[in-house]
Chain A
Amino acid sequence: MASTAHSTSQYVKIFYILLVLTVVEVGIVYMGLPKMLLAGLLIILAVWKAALVALHFMHLKFEKTTLMMIALSPFILCVFLILMLLPDIFPG
């Protein structure tokens, strides 16, 4: 693992990135962009922020592959969940 002094400055850096991304999120909502473009941008920003938290604050970047696979499993299951429910959303 990296030295603590290094990781502390790294944590603060991640904090600023998260802060800027949050401001951007709120900003683009007020900008009145086309609906689909706005939705796409917001989802990208949310996944980006979630990945930063998981990789750096939860140290996933520095862990064994086992933990990464455990962490990814619910997302894969959720994709299956959405696919299985699609017939309900678009019947016929």
Chain B
Amino acid sequence: MSEVAAMHAGAEPAETPLTPESWGKLGMWLFLAGDAMSFGCLIVGYGILRYASTTWPVPAAVLGINLTALMTFLLIVSSVTMVLALAAIQEGDKARFKKFMGFTILGGLIFLGLQAYEWTHLIGHTLPEHNLSFSKDLFATTFFVLTGFHGMHVTGGVIYNSCVLAAVSRGRYGAKHVEIAGLYWHFVDLVWILIFTFVYLL
């Protein structure tokens, strides 16, 4: 703790027993709590609409879960490369940081590519085959709203991580900025874990 406090000395206002050692971290956590509430409202709304509906297709039968399980795996891997990137920059190893941060960004991009493929396939083939449509069926509407809102977060995360990678490369950002970006990225992973369960598996 003293080491961390010394690292922030001068750059951060004096800490109190209630505040964390980094104000940027506190800010990110407050944002994430608000963002979690957005996702929470969407997921609770989804649950209520589903429970109140008389007909609801079995999600796994319509959506398929093999590709999505792979997407879940991808996000978990990119979360791990993110913490490894943080560990690298904390040791001052910039080359290793760039490698792992690059993997993290790549993981996010592949995830988005797979989601684009999944959506195209659903809209073009699977939904018409099951006589479902985005505008008429709550099953499809809630699916696209939830996964779309999450996909936007992944897009934002890829852009955010790319900016952090560039700023660290130019020496403007350090370990504490990477840690804050990591919080956002892990949150996106955490939300996907819940969406995977509630939208695809249940």
Contact = CB atoms under 8 A, between A and B. Distances in A.
A54 to B, nearest CB: 6
A70 B30 contact: yes
Contacts of A74: 33-34, 36-37, 40
A85 B196 CA distance: 23
* Overall SS of chain B's interface: helix
B87 interface: yes
Given A22-B69, A78-B40, A81-B41, A58 B183 contact: yes
A89 interface: yes
Contacts of B44: 78, 81-82, 85
Contacts of B26: 66-67, 70
Interface string A1-41: 10010011001101100110010011001000000001100
Nearest to A49: B193
Contacts of B122: none
Interface stretch (B75-83, B106-114, B136-144, B155-163): B75-83
B83 A11 contact: yes
B69 to A, nearest CB: 5
A74 to B, nearest CB: 4
Given A4-B91, A77-B37, A70 B83 contact: no
Interface string B76-111: 110110111001001100000000000000000000
B29 A8 contact: no
Contact of B84 (A11, A29, A43, A70): A11
B60 interface: yes
B194 interface: yes
Interface string A36-54: 0011001101100110011
B72 interface: yes
A8 B20 contact: no
Contact of B33 (A26, A73, A89): A73
Interface of A: 1, 4, 7-8, 11-12, 14-15, 18-19, 22, 25-26, 29, 38-39, 42-43, 45-46, 49-50, 53-54, 57-59, 63-64, 66-67, 70-71, 73-75, 77-78, 81-82, 85, 88-89
Sort A-B residue pairs by CB-CB distance and give the 3 closest, nearest first: A46-B197, A74-B36, A78-B40
Given A12-B80, A22-B76, A66-B18, 13 more contacts: A15-B77, A22-B73, A26-B69, A42-B201, A43-B202, A46-B193, A53-B189, A57-B189, A58-B182, A59-B179, A74-B40, A77-B40, A81-B44
10 contacts: A12-B80, A19-B76, A22-B73, A43-B197, A46-B198, A64-B20, A66-B19, A70-B29, A78-B43, A89-B52
